[in-house]
Amino acid sequence: MTDGSTDPAQRALSKIDTTAPQSARIWNYWLGGKDNYEVDRAAGDAFKELFPGIEEEARASRYFLVRAVRFLAGERGIRQFLDVGTGLPTVDNTHEVAQRVAPDARVVYVDNDPLVLAHAQALLTSTTQEGSTLYIDADLREPERILEAARDALDFTRPVALMLMGILGLVEDHDEACSIVRRLVAGLPSGSYLVHYDGGNTNEVYNEATRRYNEISGAPYILRSPEQIERYYDGLELVEPGVVSCSRWRLDFAGGGGDGDGAGGLPPEVNEYGGVARKP
């Protein structure tokens, strides 16, 4: 039996699987959102029981997005953002941060999760008259299709910030993940940027919590070493301080980032590693 609705949001909602936990919904729960189900909350609580700092990890990742977008829209003058693996809308989405700095910023969101699609229709909309947003229903593993669809909203003769936030861990094969990054970056003009973070495997407790989550998830998340994560930036010019714990990236661009109780007055490190790099 098929859903005969002509409303894209309703068709998307009809495809939602509420019997298995889903990473976007769990992160929404950890960030204090309401767009999740009991199965997601149970998985999120089980993870938190093993690794109580997971909500701080989620917030640090969000603060990293805020600082990176603010840096690119402000200091580097970027006006176009391609956010692949958007996740569920929450506070300080990419277009909101970018358009606060540059009202004419254009943002294209890409995801293939039906709940994200349903919410994107209503929530991922431009906050200014000058700017624009567009949602593309596509899979990360289809980089050429993503780039082709994005051309409807972005000017590929001008730099674009490609955002891959916590999404490459869903690609089990590391070489495939590296290939996806290369193919997406290859389609962007010189002067474009890669903004990225993913979970690292440097904390044994975090590793074990993730392993147990993967046992019940239909979409396992693969933690990788900082050295593996750095490979995503091959051929690009890393912005200082390079690939680091998300909580430590360019704290001069305010927007959150910890309470400063770590070593040397810095916020504590988290197990999410990322950076920003320019395409020559």
Q: 243 near 275, Cβ under 8 Å?
A: yes
What is the structure's pLDDT at 264? Answer: 56
Q: 93 near 117, Cβ under 8 Å?
A: no
What is the structure's pLDDT at 53? Answer: 94
What is the structure's pLDDT at 18? Answer: 76
d(CA 266, CA 275): 17
Helix (H) or strand (E) holding 137: strand 132-137
Alpha-carbon dihedral angle through residues 30, 31, 33, 37, given to the nearest 10 degrees: -20
**DSSP-assigned beta bridge partners for residue 133:** 107
Whether pTM > 0.85 for this model: the answer is yes
What is the structure's pLDDT at 7? Answer: 55
What is the structure's pLDDT at 256? Answer: 44
Q: What is the mean pLDDT of each run of 10 residues along the chain (280 residues)?
A: 49 64 86 87 94 94 96 98 86 90 95 77 69 90 97 96 97 98 98 98 97 90 97 98 97 57 74 98
d(CA 144, CA 146): 5
What is the structure's pLDDT at 277? Answer: 98
Q: How far is CA 118 from the centre of its chain?
A: 18
Query: Which 3 state secondary structure label does DSSP give 197?
Result: strand
Q: Helices 174-186 and 143-150 sit at what angle, rounded to 10 degrees?
A: 30
d(CA 43, CA 49): 10
d(CA 257, CA 126): 26
Q: For the chain, how far is it from start to end, CA to CA, in angstroms?
A: 51
Of 8, 21, 62, whose CA–CA distance to 210 is shortest?
A: 21
